[in-house]
Structure 1
Amino acid sequence: MNANDSNAAGPSGPSSTEAALSDRAQALRLTSVSRETEDRLAAIVALLEKWQRTINLVAPASLPRVWTRHVADSLQLVPLAGEARRWVDLGSGGGFPGLVVAAVLAERAGADVTLVESDTRKAAFLREAARIAELPVTVLPARIEQVAARIAAGVEIVSARALAPLPRLLELAHPFLAQGAVGLFLKGQDVDNELTESAKSWRINSRIQESLTDRGGRILIVEAATPLKPAS
C-alpha cells in the first residue's frame, strides 16, 4: 500500500479529501462569503481539526461535515444582524458561532466580538484561532454570570448555540437584552415548547426563522425579554 492509498477513493465513495471539499463547497453555496473571509474560516477549521485530537471542541461525528454543520450554521446569523459591529457570543466552546461571526465582521471597521467561555482549554483554542485568522476578538475565560453586567453596554447582538434551555438562556442574556441588544439563538425544533415554558416568567418579543442548514433547526430572534417578576 502506498502513502496515498488511505485517501484514495474506494468503490463505495469519494476520498475523505474530496468529501471535505464537497462539504466546504456546499456550505459556501448556502452562505456565500468573500474570498478573504473564506480564507479566515479555512484557518479556523484547520486549527479546530488539529486541536480536536486532544480537546473535544465539537461532536466527533460532526467533524466530517464541519463546514455545513458548524460553519454555515453559524454564518446564517450574520445577515440577521444587519450592520451590527458589537457582538457577544455566550458559551463559545469550539467557536460556533462566535469565531465564524468574527471572520465575517473582520471586514467591518470597528468590529468587536467578545467570546465568553469558562473552559480554559477551549478559551485557549479560541485565542489561538483569533490570532492566526487575525480576528477582532476578545476572549473572556469566565462564567457568563461573572462578566455579563460589566460588558453589556453598547453590545448590539448577543448570540448562543446549544448553550442552555431558553428560560436559563434568557437569564444569562438578560443584561445584554436589557440594554437593547438583540438575541440570536440557534435552537432545535422544540423552540416553541421552550418559548411556552419561558412565557411563565418572561415577557418575550421574538420571532422564529427556519435554519438554512438543519431541517429541525430554528433561529430564535429575541428583540426584547423582560422578567415578569424580580428574581428571588
Structure 2
Amino acid sequence: MVPSDRDRVLAEAGVSRETAAALDLYVAQLTRWQAIKNLVGPATLPDVWTRHIADSLQLLDAAPQARTWLDLGSGAGIPGLILAIAGVQNRPDLRVDLVESNARKGAFLQETTRLTGAPARIHVARIERVVADFRGVDVVCARALAPLPQLIAWTAPLLKSGTIGLFPKGREAQSELTAAREKWTFVADVIPSRTDSSAGIVRISSLSDPLP
C-alpha cells in the first residue's frame, strides 16, 4: 500500500503522535477557513502536506540550534505556525512570533494557535512598524512575501545584529541574490529545497551596511 502524502511527510519528519495530531488540526483549520478567507492558493490545498507542511518543516534543519523565530507576513502560518507546532517537540523552549497585517488572517492564526497549543504569539501589525522590536531573535523567515532586496530592507536591523535570515525562494533565488548584492553586503548560501528541485532556501548569516 502506497503511503499517503500525510503519512510520508510525518514519517520523514519523525514527529510524535501528539505533534501529528496538532498538524492534522492545523490542516483541518486551514481547510475550513479557506472557504471563508483565501489563505492559500486554492490549487495547493490538495497537496497541503507537501506544498506547505513539508516545505515549512525543512526550515528547522536549516537552523538546528535556533530557539526564537520571527515569521513575517505569516498569512496562513506558513511557515511560522507550522514550525511552532512541530519544532517544540525537540526544542521545548521554542518560541515563534508571527507578524501579519491582515486582521482576518490574524484571527485564523490566533484561533489555530489556541487550538493546537503551539508556542506562538500573533502580532497583527505592519512589518515595518514592529520588526525592529525583535532584535535578538535567532531566525527571521518569510515565505512568498516579497523579493529578496525588500526582505533584506525590512529585516536589516535584525540581520546586522546576528539574526539568521531564512527565505524560501523558487527558481528566482539566484537572480534575487544578484539584485540584493547590488544594494547590500552580506554572506549567504542557498540550501536546495527538499520539496521542489527548482527551489531553494536563501540563508543569510550576516549583513553589513548598504553599499554606497
| Residue 110 (structure 1) aligned with residue 93 (structure 2) | yes
Structure 1 residue 105 displacement after superposition:
2.8
2:63 to 68, 78, 81: 81
Letter in 2 for 1:66: V
Corresponding residue for 1:132? Answer: 115
Which has the greater radius of gyration? 1
Corresponding residue for 2:10? Answer: 28
Letter in 1 for 2:60: V
Alignment of 1:52-91 (within 5 A): 52-91=34-73
1:168 to 133, 150, 154: 150
Give the TM-score normalised by structure 2: 0.94
Corresponding residue for 2:176? Answer: 194
Contact 2:9-2:50 at 8 Å conserved across structures: yes
RMSD: 1.7
Q: Report % sequence identity.
A: 46
Paired residues, what number? 211
Contact 1:30-1:212 at 8 Å conserved across structures: no
Letter in 2 for 1:77: L
CA distance in 1, matches of 2:122, 2:13: 25
CA distance in 1, matches of 2:176, 2:25: 36
Letter in 1 for 2:200: R
Q: Give the match's secondary structure for 2:197.
A: coil
Give the TM-score normalised by structure 1: 0.86
Structure 1 residue 163 displacement after superposition:
0.8
CA distance in 2, matches of 1:165, 1:129: 28
Letter in 2 for 1:210: P
Corresponding residue for 1:123? Answer: 106
CA distance in 2, matches of 1:71, 1:110: 21
CA distance in 2, matches of 1:171, 1:53: 34
**Which structure 1 segments of 5+ residues have no match?**
1-18
Letter in 2 for 1:195: L
CA distance in 2, matches of 1:151, 1:111: 15
Q: Which runs of 4+ in 1 moved over 4 A?
A: none
